[in-house]
Amino acid sequence: MQQPAYSFIIPVYNRPDEISELLQSFTHLEEASSFEIVIVEDGSERRCDEVIKEFQKELDIRYFFKPNSGPGDSRNFGMKQANADYYIILDSDVILPSDYLTVVHQFLSKNHVDCFGGPDAADQSFSPIQKAINFSMTSYLTTGGIRGHKTAKEFQPRSFNMGLSRKAFESIGGFKSIHPGEDPDLVLRLWDMDMKTAFIEKARVYHKRRISWILFFKQMYKFGSVRPILNKWHPRYNKLAFWFPSIFMLVFLISLVLLFVHVPYLFYLFLLYFALLLMLALIQMKKLKPSLLALWAVFVQFTAYGSGYLRSTILLNIYTNRSEKQLFPNLFFPWEKS
């Protein structure tokens, strides 16, 4: 059998419906290059093996089941089974546009990079909440383009849409057991080895994020909690901008206190910021409901991330004699040796 040009690596945990939608999108890909799909079932109770059987006549799929050890270890496992020299890592809750592989192949044919990523977008079929959260996570006014923007000088690919060469994987040993945060940690280790990353603007995926407001808060809180740990591991990449959500949260509380004592001017600045967000959301989504929900999504994102970042920073500076795994056991899977 001819070696495929690309190996798609997809960890999945209790998401057979998502895998069905993702594989359906694979069947509509333009024939840009040969590829295989490696699906790693991470100890799921609701397995997707029966779903996969429905697509095996159309797609080159290999399926593996392993005990639960988290997405990072599952991606490492999948890359060790893969046949191609270039891996493309996806989350199970994405859908591929038909031109995805064409765009990636055209870029890599002209540019050698060890790691690449593309943006996530919201398809028209998404719910208003999904569109609102997507706006909050991707807008330049909220995340500064860190998750994918053509103006970003240094792009850190995320594992919902990440390409990685076999050479890069073997050089750094793959993902670590921290979660979330395993993907920026991997990218920063690549940069330390002078390996290149790239942003492919048109290599977008539709990221469904089947999530409620409560789950979104918990996810953002974990993202905020992880960042100070990454700052400690990789101090040369620490940025003042990481404090923005915490500062936003604290200053917003101050503005409410001042508003209560009839000093509203600081609160007016927040109203101006949210007015700009609403205008941008309306321009981007062209509908009022998801645009209004986007304002709430931004508030939840900043509050959750900021509080997680602040708490994690305080604990790391107080308990200097304890390891990150001891302080934050819920942010690490136990498979990796200390």
Residue 301's pLDDT is: 95
| Residue 160 near residue 182 (C-beta atoms within 8 A) | no
pLDDT of 31 higher than 90: no
Residue 212's pLDDT is: 84
46 by Cβ neighbours in 10 Å (0-12 / 13-18 / 19+) ranks as: exposed
| Residue 12 near residue 94 (C-beta atoms within 8 A) | no
Of the listed ranges 154-168, 200-214, 240-254, the least confidently predicted one is 200-214
Candidates 44, 49, 43; CA nearest to 20 is 49
| Whole-number Å distance between alpha carbons of 175 and 169 | 9
Q: Per-residue pLDDT averaged across 201-218, rounded? A: 88
Q: Per-residue pLDDT averaged across 209-234, rounded? A: 92
Q: Per-residue pLDDT averaged across 104-129, rounded? A: 88
Residue 8's pLDDT is: 97
Residue 237's pLDDT is: 93
Q: Taking CA 226 as the corner, what is the angle to CA 220 and CA 230, rounded to the nearest 5 degrees?
A: 140
| Whole-number Å distance between alpha carbons of 189 and 288 | 42
Residue 337's pLDDT is: 59
Residue 208's pLDDT is: 82
Candidates 152, 70, 77, 155; CA nearest to 114 is 155
Of the listed ranges 43-47, 83-87, 118-122, 198-202, the least confidently predicted one is 118-122
| Residue 217 near residue 304 (C-beta atoms within 8 A) | yes
Residue 144's pLDDT is: 67
Helices first, then strands: H and E counts in the chain = 13, 10
Q: Per-residue pLDDT averaged across 93-108, rounded? A: 93
Residue 122 pLDDT grade (very low, low, confident, very high; cuts 50, 70, 90): confident
Percent of the chain with pLDDT over 90: 78
In the structure encoding, which two tokens stand for residue 52, read together? Answer: 């996969």
pLDDT of 146 higher than 70: no
Residue 210's pLDDT is: 67
Percent of the chain with pLDDT over 70: 95
pLDDT of 323 higher than 60: yes
| Whole-number Å distance between alpha carbons of 273 and 244 | 14
The pairing of strands 120-121 and 94-95 is unpaired
- What tens digit of pLDDT does each residue of 160-193 get? 999 999 999 999 999 999 999 999 999 999 999 9
Q: Per-residue pLDDT averaged across 68-79, rounded? A: 94
Torsions phi, psi for 37 (to 5 deg): -120, 125
- What tens digit of pLDDT does each residue of 277-292 get? 999 999 989 999 999 9
- What tens digit of pLDDT does each residue of 33-57 get? 789 999 999 999 999 999 999 999 9
Residue 149's pLDDT is: 53
The alpha-helical segments, DSSP class H, found in the chain are 16-26, 49-53, 71-81, 100-110, 128-138, 140-143, 166-172, 182-192, 213-233, 244-260, 265-285, 288-318, 324-327
Q: Per-residue pLDDT averaged across 262-290, rounded? A: 94
Q: Per-residue pLDDT averaged across 109-138, rounded? A: 88
Across the chain, what does the average pLDDT equal?
Answer: 91
| Residue 90 near residue 22 (C-beta atoms within 8 A) | yes
Q: Per-residue pLDDT averaged across 248-262, rounded? A: 95
